[in-house]
Amino acid sequence: MPSLEELLTRYRSLILVGVGLPVGFVFDAALRLRARARELLGAAPERHDERVRGVQAQVRRWAAQPPAERRPMCTDRRTWQNLSTRFEPKHTWSKIKMGDLCDVLGLDEAARTVRVEPFVTVGQITRYLIPRGYMLAVNLEIADATIGGLALAAGMTTHSHRVGMLFETVVAYEVVLADGSLRRVSAESDPKLFRALPWSHGTLGLLVGIELAVIPVKPYIHLRYLPVRTQEGYCAEMYRLATADDAPDFLEATVFSRHEAVIMCGDFADADTPEARRKINRLGRWYKPWFYRHVETYLSGDGGDEYVPLADYLLRHNRSIFWVVEHMIPSGNNPLFRLLLGWLMPPRIAFLKLSTTPAVRKMTFTLQVFQDIVLPMSAMRRAVDRAAELFDMFPILLYPSRVYDHGEAGGQLRRPAPEDMVPGTDYAMYFDLGVYGVPGPIRRGERFRTVHAMRAMEAFTQSVRGFPFLYADTFMTREEFAAMFDLRLYREVRAEVGADGAFPDLYDKIRPEVDVLAVLDEERGYPVSLAERRDAAE
Ligand SMILES: Cc1cc2nc3c(=O)[nH]c(=O)nc-3n(C[C@H](O)[C@H](O)[C@H](O)COP(=O)(O)OP(=O)(O)OC[C@H]3O[C@@H](n4cnc5c(N)ncnc54)[C@H](O)[C@@H]3O)c2cc1C
């Protein structure tokens, strides 16, 4: 008699299509409808100050409690609503009610900035800005991500080789500190706190407003697909394109095997000639092939170009969640499936999280890999090789980003190595290595030491001065984490603004709720992978 776990695993895809997709769709539609109704009928940007006073009052009440009764504070955004793979233990913290801070407060066209409340989502700001001819300079491709979450975490996109991560585009943060005071934090007014807020994950204060840069847009992206069939070739070409004076507006590559990739260069365009109009591809439509499968068709041949409507471009990876959905619903890209059920895709992340019990999370924790890792471009070849050896899975996502050198103790990100700096600039060119899916050995039904492999990838990352996005599971100990990130300024600022004890410590905020070291021990009995044998021999 198969166990429930075996049945769930065997029929996962059927259960997901028959139950998960429709229920998730209805659930998501209800959430979106509620958000849209609020946007259209209930938006009240003029009540921003009142809402902030409400947050301040709650924090002051918290501060008035006897110290022994105070539990660290966090926002009341539900843990299943966020895009992180882990489940924050919010029930052990004091939740501050602030979910109503979700209005766009105004666009300043002269200064090219927009001011928003922190829970404004990427989808919402896109709907607001695009009709006015703008978008965020760093506009994540996931509609449900919040601007506050991006500003305090990572925020890196295929435009980041031009501007850096989202925090580089922030003019000012509005933060409620542990004593209930409100501070507008800019590079001039409060340089230390300004530098420490990015990658702080809400552990220095509560973000109640943010002002950040927008860029002008055109209705289409002229997308050029360039196949490259050597590893040296795609690594060199990505670096050349990212650092060129006329770098494309958007740049990314999908790596299909160690030596094969398709580089995509996108530029804002009007599509106002008959030839351009013939090449329009509304690739976001439900019946269209998944984006990475479409990209794959350019591997054979000399490449090509298309005009993609801006919104379709921005959400190009949405329906297949990069290539993750293929592992959940293997037939999802079949033309018949797309035609009949494509409109239900993708499975909603929020619904998947809401329906994940602790037991299911423990079960799936080691069965899949979900990592975005930021590494200097000088390490691109080695990083692809290392990821391929450790996980045996493709495609891999690559896109470049500037990492600015903000000097000694310039924030949680370590200063780039001098040899990685782009000559004549104050930044180095890094890239995101996106590894998503089910490792090869697991797909083949073999036992796999996922945590060992993840820790080996983290060790590689640290050896080249890289760092992982912290929305994904981290496998480092507290000491290893402190070596990966530069916590000097963070600790100084945390003490200065009274955040110690008032907000969780950064490591406690971002570590997975699953006991990683216990899983590490469990894995010791598994067969050793080729990569580990090689490591042991080295
Ligand atoms: C499939 C997938 C692909 C992704 N790809 C990318 C990518 O290419 N680039 C990228 O940058 N990111 C990427 N992400 C990650 C995403 O950017 C992060 O999860 C990001 O944090 C935004 O998500 P969120 O709005 O759910 O943030 P949350 O997880 O809600 O917030 C991030 C942190 O900030 C804290 N916080 C949020 N708001 C406040 C506030 N108002 N006050 C105090 N603290 C606050 C939260 O408690 C949390 O610790 C990806 C995620 C997924 C699932």
Residue 35 in contact with ligand 1 by CB distance below 6 A: no
Alpha-carbon distance of 390 to 224, in angstroms, equals 31
pLDDT of 9:
64
Return the pLDDT at 513. Answer: 80
Stretches in the chain below the pLDDT threshold 50: none
- Paired strand residues for 428: 403, 421
How far does the centroid of ligand 1 lie from the alpha carbon of residue 146, in Å? Answer: 7
Predicted pLDDT of residue 330:
87
Q: Please name the residue whose Cα sits nearest to atom 33 of ligand 1.
A: 201
Q: Give the pLDDT score at 532.
A: 62
Q: Which atom of ligand 1 lies at the shortest distance from residue 148's CA?
A: 38
**Given the CA of residue 202, which atom of ligand 1 is nearest to it?**
44
Q: Which atom of ligand 1 is nearest to the CA of 77?
A: 30
Give 261-325 as a DSSP string: EEEEEEEEE---SHHHHHTB--TTSTTSPPHHHHHHTTSSSS-EEEEEEHHHHHTTTTTTTTTTH
pLDDT for res 528: 59
**Which of 404, 395, 341, 339 lies closest to 369, judged by CA?**
395
Q: Which residue's alpha carbon is at the smallest distance from atom 11 of ligand 1? A: 155
Helix, strand, coil abundance in the chain, percent, nearest 5: 40, 20, 40
Q: In a mutational test of the pocket of ligand 1, which residue from 152, 161, 413 has the highest number of ligand atoms less than 8 Å from its CB?
A: 152
* 519 CB within 6 A, ligand 1: no
- Tokens 């030596």 locate to 259
pLDDT of residue 313: 96
pLDDT at residue 6, rounded to an integer = 67
Of 75, 83, 351, best ligand 1 pocket probe by most atoms within 8 Å of the beta carbon: 83
pLDDT of residue 5: 63
State the distance from the centre of ligand 1 to the C-alpha of 321, rounded, in angstroms.
Answer: 16
